[in-house]
Amino acid sequence: MQQKQQLDIIVSHWDDNIVQSSYCTSKFLGHACAVDIVHSFENTVETKIGFANLVQLVMDGPNVNWSTFDKLQRRLEKEHRHQLLNIGSCGLHQLHNALKAGVEVTGWDISHSMSTMQKLFGDVPARREDYETATGTDLYALPVCSENVKVCKRAIKLVSRVQRCIECVEKKECKTQVQNHLKL
């Protein structure tokens, strides 16, 4: 955090087929230059994960961070013959935009489907009753927001249940009717 002259070290790693983020430490550096940041970073990373295991450095963009990136890059190349991925100063934004572009190219309107799953039962108690009867659950989709990890996980869990409810309505086994444009 630049305003607090603080270096937060958080390591992301694979754990049981998902990416986990673990807080390692914070270093309060005051008026630090790139060499100071590199030294603090290297000491922490070496003891926590091993310097050779670094893949990417995510930073908030000021020039001192680019200098830090260059110094770490040279050390990795010299000592371990590999380099860090460089996908910009904020890898999270770059990856998010890449995923968003990939989703758009597929033509699948995933955001619309997730929103529809949430709205389908949101304000209609009769539909909620039919859904609970057809599926045996009261677990509903979450509202779509900027942080959609939980929303996506819930939607994946619910797709087959919502489809089962729609089939129930189509077979007229439920009391309410679901409009055609709300089908997934």
d(CA 9, CA 25): 5
**Confidence at residue 115, expressed as pLDDT on a 0 to 100 scale:** 82
Span between the terminal Cα atoms of the chain, in Å: 43
Token match 């309107």: residue? 109
> For the chain, which ranges sit under pLDDT 70?
1-4, 61-63, 91-92, 145-148, 175-184
Domain ranges of the chain: 2-94, 109-182
User: pTM (2 decimals)?
Assistant: 0.51
